[in-house]
Amino acid sequence: MADNDDEIILSELSDDELVQQMMDDLYDGLKEEIEEGVNILLERGWAPYDVLTKALVAGMTIVGHDFRDGILFVPEVLLAANAMKGGMAILKPLLAETGAPRMGKMVIGTVKGDIHDIGKNLVSMMMEGAGFEVVDLGINNAVEKYLEAAAREEADIIGMSALLTTTMPYMKVVIDTMKEQGIRDDYIVLVGGAPLNEEFGRAIGADAYCRDAAVTVETAKDFIKRKHNQLAAGG
């Protein structure tokens, strides 16, 4: 009987309490609770964009910080991201209808010859959790695939991942091709993966090397902000 007393009925919570509870549920990777919370807020007349930013993105920001600080680890972050995905599935069509502002759009994939994708998947999920639109190209991507997708999707960011020292150099092939085609400055290029470091990122001409998913989100936000500021200033 005591168990029932402890059970939280989401629909009985005030808006503020519900948002707080959803942030906790997201942290704990509780997908069904997140879906229920999203639906309750929508029923109460919340705008889809507010549900996304105030409940889901705010919750994933805490997850991201704790992952960066070594408090949470990959399995917990994947659970949280999966719960976030459940909420996003409900919100996505509604956000498209309402023309909600988006943070930016990223095309991401593991480079040619490399089939590792756990890190890339984590980045995709965390970027979505931060309000970015993400087009995930999967593994083993040739230069043409990156550039076609970036053009087709009108992406702001191209993200490349590699886990092998033998596939790392392919990132330079992609960036050099962009330079040859005169489109290098059209995109923010972020690179990551276990064997990479900042020095390598600089050497190949990437905008930034991101050591993990949380850093990728922070870096992407900074670059998008700068891009918007430049546009606003007529740059």
Q: Which of 44-58, 96-110, 144-158, 187-201 has the lowest mean pLDDT?
A: 96-110
pLDDT bucket at 65, cuts 50 / 70 / 90: confident
pLDDT score recorded for residue 232? 79
* CB 41 within 8 Å of CB 94: no
pLDDT bin (cut points 50, 70, 90) of residue 231 is confident
In the chain, the domains with their CATH numbers are 8-98 (1.10.1240.10), 105-232 (3.40.50.280)
How far from 169 is each of 26, 117, 126, 186, CA to CA, in Å?
Answer: 37, 17, 26, 22
Q: Give, to the nearest 10 degrees, the angle between helix 58-68 and helix 15-27.
A: 30
Model pLDDT for residues 146-174, shown as the tens digit of each residue? 999 999 999 999 999 999 999 999 999 99
107-157 pLDDT, tens digit per residue, is 999 999 999 988 898 899 888 888 899 999 999 999 999 999 999 999 999
Per-residue pLDDT, 129? 80
**pLDDT of res. 96:** 76
Instruction: Say which DSSP state 105 is in.
Output: E
